[in-house]
Structure 1
Amino acid sequence: MRLAASFGIWPDLFSALRVATLPTLGAIIREPSLIFRPTALSRQFMALVWAAFSSPTDEGARPTKLGLIKPHAKKTVLDIGAGHGHAIQYFERDAVTAYVALEPNALMHNEIRSRAESAGYTEMDGTLLIISCGAEDPAAIRKALDNAGLQVDTMLSIMTLCSIPSPQKTLARLVDDVLAPGGKLLFYEHVLSPRKDVAFWQRFWTPIWRLAFDGCRLDRPTHLWIQQLQDKEGNSPWSEWEVWGKEGEPEEHLWWHRTGFFVKRTDEGK
């Protein structure tokens, strides 16, 4: 792997530190207890980082997201780790009847509401639901969905599975307990490279990278974990799937992307 590519995290890391360090210190001065609440402190830092990074990151993946989301997102969409709600702009409004934003960082909720309302989804009419828990709490997710009278027909993960806790267990529970039979899981994620030299550097930099980006890991083979999922009976939950890469992306890339869709079986337990 070329040296320049292997050190590719540093421009983004320096940018994150530049935009978020001083404002985060200001937040600590205003609220000293943040020092003793690492999760809240990390979310404060990440909210500042994402305010600067989210739109350029979204723009860089626009063709890939269009090809994934627009033809496949239907009915009620659960956006795992919704961030600022950028996924909304790729919906066909007539096809997506409700948007459920799963976002534990409450500092991002106003951005979600703003984008959703611009696209015609509001809490007032029940077409927008914001859930504040993490993906690892499917019971809370189900309760919120049941209270709103919604079932998840499309589950969407855009650059999120890199940071959720216990990812394989969490994914299995979300698919088992939250995604409706016949529903689709759509994903666009940076994943562990199959190239050993790239994977070495992904693993090497992950401990540093995750500190600045709210637990984000470069070394998760998420696309393989999704494909290898098993339901409670030990069977594959999928009836069909398709996985592809990001067009024009070089192999020597610390953020090597996979995207695709998986369809949940309708004959569960058989």
Structure 2
Amino acid sequence: MLLASFLRRCVQLLLLPVHGLACLGLWDSFYKKVFPYVMAKVAPMYNHKVYKQKQELFSNLRKFAGPSGQLILLEIGTGTGTNFQFYPPGCRLTCTDPNPNFRKFLLKSLSENRHLKLEHVVVASGEDLHQILDGTVDVVVCTLVLCSVTSTEKVLMEVLRVLRLGGAFYFLEHVAADHSSWTYFWQRVCDPVWKYFGDGCSLSRETQKELEKTNFSELNLRRIHVTPYWIPTSPHIIGLDHTLKRSLLKARSFIRNVFQFNSPRTPKEVRILCPTLEMTEASVLLFRACLALLAMPIYLLSFLGIWKPFCRKIFFPFFLEKFSAIHEKKTKKQKQELFRNLPDFTSPSGELKLLEIGTGCGANFQFYPPGCKVTCTDINPHFQQGLLRSMNKNQHVHYERFLVAAGEDLHQVPSGSVDAVICTLVLCSVHSVNGTLKEVLRVLRPGGAFYFLEHVAADHSSWKYFWQQICYPTWKLVFDGCCLTREIWKNLEEANFSELKLQHISVALPWTPIQPHIIGYAVK
């Protein structure tokens, strides 16, 4: 794959201006307006290529009509409405798409397909269909959409949630080619830049694997190739899934809000639900662009794949050791008070076993009680020099082992084996806060405690939050994934702790966007 990597870099360099616009936050908003015009030209050509396959696929739609005899159909990622011609007369249609700029093309397609009864047009992503009630849809249709969603798994969970028992999910998606083929080679080469012109489209997704993992009662899937065979989107999967009752029950946990369409309207009325762009968002984008220009060398290094390994190996360990010393002075009293009751969670055997997630340079060791046994974990193995210095300074603690592990995956630590878990300035940068908290609950013994000190999002009406929004993309890139706007207290409140003691504080770090903090502990 060395040749693929080399060619990928060449393609990326050719399209460096587009990548620059994307880094500045300008490409996405521009291309979302252009993309509907592109699809209006491309979709008819594509429909011509797959006309027979679509005709065959949708031929049995009527079979899934509900007890009333009417077919209630939801299409995810409707786009320009190229599938409308294949739907049976009289079916009640709800269309969703995250891009509101498709509206005029959608209405044009509806005017050409008057055999359909349009109910709603909803501006929504496939991962969040909270406007659609549970079990209210007979059929969900999704064509050339799962390639560009953020999470295929979440979309399929939403599909299961909205489908009634016995309903069906129809799909037609381009997918990754066989890994030994030249098509897959070119998919790998083009993938990083293809997303810019396909509005997030990924060429190498193995969507069939996600479908197989999802709890459908029956999966009918076959592979096809769409001409011309040399294009990277030639390999496709086509088919339908049937729902099972237990799948619907399992998917209920993904419900967040329910929106009920029950207001009176005329048959021709189309309701568009779309978030509005406020002036503050425009200001944030402008200032983000200015900050990104200042940090352009780092963005360029990131684009070339150089920044991340350099940051993890050299820059971030060095920076964190220096920053920890400053942060330590500012929060010493709060930490002393926080960790004062650690001995209260000593196990019946008389031992106090601690697990620290994201140990870094070991800035917390000085606060641990003498004789406690500490297991250190960090996803970055390059903190060892600073960690050893801290261990030598704090020999009152017994160090058991160091694990290179992410907070979301602590499988090396047995369940219920720890008296207390400590996590300071870590939840801001994990991939999943909820996933980390689940692991914390797993490894803690009953009655054990989770201690935390984290910087969080400021009040949304404050200037601090405004600056957090501006700094967010560049800050995340420079500081190894650190997110400025996480509302971590909400995750803690939703986690299954029996007791939560949490306090909002402000740390005296002038001119920085990380002044707002939360501090406290939670008991399992």
Identify whether the pair has TM-score above 0.5, normalized to the shorter chain: yes
One-letter identity of the residue aligned with 1:138? L
Tell me what 2:342 maps to.
72
Tell me what 2:367 maps to.
90
Distance 1:228 1:135 in 2: 18
Tell me what 1:9 maps to.
none
Tell me what 2:479 maps to.
213
Q: Offset at 1:54? A: 1.8
Tell me what 2:441 maps to.
176
Alignment CA distance shift 1:187-1:212 (3 Å): same
CA contact (8 A) 1:47 1:108 kept: yes
Q: Offset at 1:228? A: 1.0
Distance 2:395 2:503 in 1: 31
Q: Offset at 1:246? A: 2.8
Please say which structure displays the higher CA radius of gyration: 2
CA contact (8 A) 2:342 2:368 kept: no
Alignment CA distance shift 1:182-1:39 (3 Å): farther
Q: Does 1:189 align with 2:454?
A: yes
Q: Does 1:60 align with 2:325?
A: no
SS in 2 for 1:138: coil
Distance 1:238 1:135 in 2: 17
One-letter identity of the residue aligned with 2:387? I
Distance 1:175 1:248 in 2: 26
Describe how 1:38-57 pairs up with structure 2 within 5 A: 39-44=308-313, 45-57=315-327
Q: Offset at 1:119? A: 2.3
1:108-142 residue CA offsets vs partner (Å, 9 max, x unmatched): 123223322432367xxx74311111112122x32
SS in 1 for 2:364: helix
CA contact (8 A) 2:353 2:418 kept: yes
Q: Offset at 1:212? A: 1.3
TM superposition score normalised by structure 2: 0.38
Distance 1:128 1:114 in 2: 16
Alignment coverage as a number of residue pairs? 216
Tell me what 1:107 maps to.
382
Describe how 1:1-270 pairs up with structure 2 within 5 A: 36=305, 39-44=308-313, 45-72=315-342, 74=345, 75-94=352-371, 97-120=372-395, 127-139=399-411, 141-142=412-413, 151-172=417-438, 174-197=439-462, 198-229=464-495, 237-246=496-505, 254-255=513-514, 256-264=516-524
CA contact (8 A) 1:192 1:220 kept: yes
Q: Which moved more, 1:191-200 or 1:213-222?
A: 191-200
Distance 1:39 1:179 in 2: 33
Distance 1:117 1:85 in 2: 11
CA contact (8 A) 1:161 1:222 kept: yes
Alignment CA distance shift 1:135-1:128 (3 Å): same
Distance 1:248 1:190 in 2: 9
1:78-126 residue CA offsets vs partner (Å, 9 max, x unmatched): 11111110101011214xx21111112222123223322432367xxx7
Name structure 1 gaps, 5 residues minimum.
1-5, 7-12, 22-27, 29-34, 230-236, 265-270
SS in 1 for 2:513: coil
Q: Offset at 1:39? A: 4.3
Distance 1:170 1:191 in 2: 16
Alignment CA distance shift 1:207-1:152 (3 Å): same
Q: Offset at 1:249? A: 5.8
Q: Offset at 1:167? A: 1.7
CA contact (8 A) 1:76 1:98 kept: yes
CA contact (8 A) 1:241 1:262 kept: yes
TM superposition score normalised by structure 1: 0.70
SS in 1 for 2:498: strand
CA contact (8 A) 1:187 1:261 kept: yes
1:34-90 residue CA offsets vs partner (Å, 9 max, x unmatched): x64664333122112113222112111111111111323651111111111010101
CA contact (8 A) 1:99 1:121 kept: no
Identity of aligned residues (%): 24
CA contact (8 A) 1:192 1:221 kept: yes
1:187-239 residue CA offsets vs partner (Å, 9 max, x unmatched): 0111112342333332221111111111111100112211111xxxxxxx222
Tell me what 1:234 maps to.
none
The CA RMSD over aligned residues, in Å, is: 3.1
CA contact (8 A) 1:64 1:246 kept: no
Name structure 2 gaps, 5 residues minimum.
1-283, 285-290, 346-351
